[in-house]
């Protein structure tokens, strides 16, 4: 294919139809699982939710799990449970989806962005240390692309400084750090079930924790701050009685969604194996390509591969990231960029976060492209992506 005319210049695209960067796989078993709930007594607050929570807890090895309407709502709940409030600072990475920082703002606290390690793209523990003040209350590291952060180092810093660690593991269901499952290690861990993630409930998210106090707070926060647990109530007027003890939200997931999650979770090992296989195919194809950097993997972690990101060696190219990106789109490859650093989003710029505070993340942003990676891809799809990347980079290579 090399040397052939790019689709952006009127040539024939590598693919005749568009390949997205990620999407769900729903099978007949998933559909039947949802139908069963629709025909049952409970569409919400029913038994499917507890079952889903207990299955996620056992999959991750955590004691407790509390499901929410979204990963973002789950992060909000975790920030509440951690006691984050006005006057606090919370350290997170700029190389993430806005939700990892927005949840800090929801609680009236201040997000503080620490720069990434340019090798792993994960929050750099050394940079975390630089950002700690008397106001720091928590750290929200993100297991970016599915590759675990240096958890031992981060948890050690947190312990010394009495900080809560809330892991954003939206990318990392099924990932392992030093042979331990993500979700079983830290104070609280969030997983997302958005359709592009490892398993889906449509919208949905969950917090896993080993701490019974966080568990109780999360349950209550999810439902208006209301408890029906007699042990927690200050009065008791009778069997109808419930107590609203703080201002919570309605962040309850439905049984319809939980049923889909239960069914999807049965296939998680197979989904992750496919993602790993396709990532290995990309690595193999691109490891000697001098125009791109394949994603470095630390030996401490075992990624569950939510995203496959290449970094362009712009010095070797005649074109920009935008040129390469647009050319790949025209070849019908659904490339993406994960992410625009959060502090550069206009809302955060208005809050006063200047450009230049996280130079490593900003440099990466100018070079990165996400290639399609999901468990519903075929090997042929992977070969198409490889062919398109080679075709476009051959053209733009110096
Ligand atoms: C998807 C995602 C979230 C938010 O999850 P939702 O379920 O979409 O609310 C948070 N952080 C990261 C890194 C994500 O990728």
Do residues 207 and 356 both lie within one domain?
A: no
Residues 103-109, mean pLDDT to the nearest whole number: 98
Do residues 260 and 274 both lie within one domain?
A: no
User: Count of domains in the chain?
Assistant: 2
Residue 342 belongs to domain spanning: 7-20+268-396
- Tell whether omega for the bond before 339 is within 30 degrees of 0, i.e. cis: yes
In-domain check, residue 1: no
Burial 156-188 (b: 16+ CB within 10 A, else e): ebbeeeebbbbbbbbbbbbbbbeeebbbbbbbb
Average pLDDT, the chain: 97
In-domain check, residue 352: yes
Do residues 79 and 187 both lie within one domain?
A: yes
Do residues 15 and 36 both lie within one domain?
A: no
Does ligand 1 lie within 6 Å of residue 184's CB atom? no
* Dist CA 123 CA 140 (whole Å): 9
Do residues 231 and 289 both lie within one domain?
A: no
Q: Model confidence over 197-255: pLDDT tens digits? A: 999 999 999 999 999 999 999 999 999 999 999 999 999 999 999 999 999 999 999 99
Does ligand 1 lie within 6 Å of residue 170's CB atom? yes
In-domain check, residue 123: yes
Residue that is last in its domain, among 265, 298, 332? 265
pLDDT at 141: 98
Do residues 301 and 174 both lie within one domain?
A: no
Does ligand 1 lie within 6 Å of residue 194's CB atom? yes
Distance, CA 211 to ligand 1 centroid (Å)? Answer: 23
In-domain check, residue 2: no
pTM of the model: 0.97
CATH of the domain at 324: 3.90.1150.10
pLDDT at 2: 46
Question: Per-residue confidence at 185, pLDDT binned at 50, 70, 90?
Answer: very high
Do residues 260 and 272 both lie within one domain?
A: no
* Residue with CA nearest ligand 1 atom 7: 71
Among 161, 180, 197, 322, the one annotated catalytic: 197
Does ligand 1 lie within 6 Å of residue 99's CB atom? yes
Q: Model confidence over 6-20: pLDDT tens digits? A: 999 999 999 999 999
Does ligand 1 lie within 6 Å of residue 97's CB atom? yes
Which of 21, 69, 71, 93 has the most ligand 1 atoms within 8 A of CB, as the residue to mutate? Answer: 71
Distance, CA 71 to ligand 1 centroid (Å)? Answer: 5
Do residues 127 and 229 both lie within one domain?
A: yes
Asked whether the predicted pLDDT for residue 1 surpasses 50, the reply is: no
Distance, CA 16 to ligand 1 centroid (Å)? Answer: 31
Which of 192, 202, 345 has the most ligand 1 atoms within 8 A of CB, as the residue to mutate? Answer: 192
Active site residue 161: no
Q: Which two tokens stand for residue 48?
A: 């499917």
Residues 44-59, mean pLDDT to the nearest whole number: 98
Q: Please give the share of the chain, as a percent, with pLDDT higher than 70.
A: 99
Q: Model confidence over 332-387: pLDDT tens digits? A: 999 999 999 999 999 999 999 999 999 999 999 999 999 999 999 999 999 999 99
What are the residues whose beta carbons fall under 8 Å from the beta carbon of 52, sequence distance 6 or more? 67, 201, 253, 258, 259, 261, 262, 265
Distance, CA 398 to ligand 1 centroid (Å)? Answer: 38
Asked whether the predicted pLDDT for residue 101 surpasses 50, the reply is: yes
Do residues 233 and 345 both lie within one domain?
A: no
CATH of the domain at 213: 3.40.640.10
Cβ pair 163, 137 in contact under 8 A: yes
Distance, CA 28 to ligand 1 centroid (Å)? Answer: 26
Q: Model confidence over 216-229: pLDDT tens digits? A: 999 999 999 999 99
Secondary element (H or E) of residue 83: none
Do residues 12 and 128 both lie within one domain?
A: no
Q: Please give the span between the terminal C-alpha atoms of the chain, in angstroms, as a whole number.
A: 18
In-domain check, residue 101: yes
Residue that is last in its domain, among 233, 265, 297? 265
Residues making up the chain, counted from first to last: 398
Provide the 3-class DSSP secondary structure of residue 31.
Answer: helix
- Strand ranges inside 195-297, DSSP E: 205-209, 226-227, 243-244, 292-293
* Dist CA 130 CA 80 (whole Å): 25
In-domain check, residue 296: yes
Does ligand 1 lie within 6 Å of residue 142's CB atom? yes
In-domain check, residue 122: yes
Q: Which atom of ligand 1 is nearest to the CA of 144?
A: 13
Residues 85-101, mean pLDDT to the nearest whole number: 98
Q: Model confidence over 117-164: pLDDT tens digits? A: 999 999 999 999 999 999 999 999 999 999 999 999 999 999 999 999
In-domain check, residue 317: yes
Beta strands at 136-140 and 89-92: parallel, antiparallel or unpaired: parallel
Name the DSSP class of 70.
S
Distance, CA 166 to ligand 1 centroid (Å)? Answer: 13
Do residues 204 and 102 both lie within one domain?
A: yes
Q: Please give the share of the chain, as a percent, with pLDDT higher than 90.
A: 98
Residue that is last in its domain, among 214, 247, 265? 265
pLDDT at 3: 56
Q: Model confidence over 262-300: pLDDT tens digits? A: 999 999 999 999 999 999 999 999 999 999 999 999 999
Do residues 82 and 170 both lie within one domain?
A: yes
């Amino acid at each position: 294919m090399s040397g052939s005319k790019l689709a952006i210049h009127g040539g024939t695209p590598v693919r005749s139809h568009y390949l997205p960067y990620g999407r769900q796989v729903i099978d007949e078993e998933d559909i039947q699982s949802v139908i069963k709930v629709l025909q049952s007594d409970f569409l919400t607050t029913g038994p499917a939710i507890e079952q889903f929570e207990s299955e996620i807890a056992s999959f991750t090895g955590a004691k407790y799990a509390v499901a929410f309407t979204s990963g973002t709502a789950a992060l909000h709940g975790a920030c509440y449970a951690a006691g984050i409030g006005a006057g606090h600072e919370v350290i997170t990475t700029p190389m993430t989806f806005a939700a990892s920082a927005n949840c800090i703002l929801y609680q009236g606290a201040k997000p503080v962005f620490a720069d990434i390690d340019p090798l792993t793209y994960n929050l750099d523990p050394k940079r975390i240390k630089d950002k700690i003040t008397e106001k720091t209350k928590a750290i929200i590291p993100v297991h970016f692309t599915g590759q675990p952060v240096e958890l031992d180092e981060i948890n050690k810093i947190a312990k010394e400084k009495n900080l809560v660690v809330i892991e954003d593991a939206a990318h990392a269901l099924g990932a392992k750090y030093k042979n331990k499952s993500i979700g079983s290690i830290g104070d609280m861990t969030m997983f997302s079930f958005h359709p592009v993630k490892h398993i889906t409930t449509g919208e949905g998210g969950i917090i896993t924790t080993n701490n019974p106090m966080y568990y109780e707070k999360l349950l209550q926060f999810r439902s208006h701050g209301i408890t029906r647990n007699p042990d927690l109530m200050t009065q008791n007027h009778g069997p109808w009685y419930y107590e609203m003890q703080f201002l919570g939200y309605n962040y309850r997931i439905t049984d319809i969604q939980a049923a889909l999650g239960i069914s999807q979770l049965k296939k998680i090992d197979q989904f992750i194996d496919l993602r790993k296989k396709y990532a290995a195919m990309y690595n193999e194809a691109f490891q000697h390509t001098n125009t791109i950097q394949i994603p470095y993997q630390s030996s401490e972690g075992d990624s569950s591969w939510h995203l496959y990101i290449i970094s362009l060696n712009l010095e070797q190219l005649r074109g920009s990231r935008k040129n390469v990106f647009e050319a790949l789109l025209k070849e019908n490859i659904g490339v993406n960029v994960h992410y625009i650093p959060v502090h550069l989003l206009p809302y955060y710029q208005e809050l006063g976060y200047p450009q230049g505070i996280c130079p490593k993340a900003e440099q990466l942003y100018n070079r990165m492209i996400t290639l399609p990676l999901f468990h519903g891809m075929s090997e042929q799809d992977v070969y198409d992506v490889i062919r398109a990347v080679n075709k476009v980079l051959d053209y733009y290579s110096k």
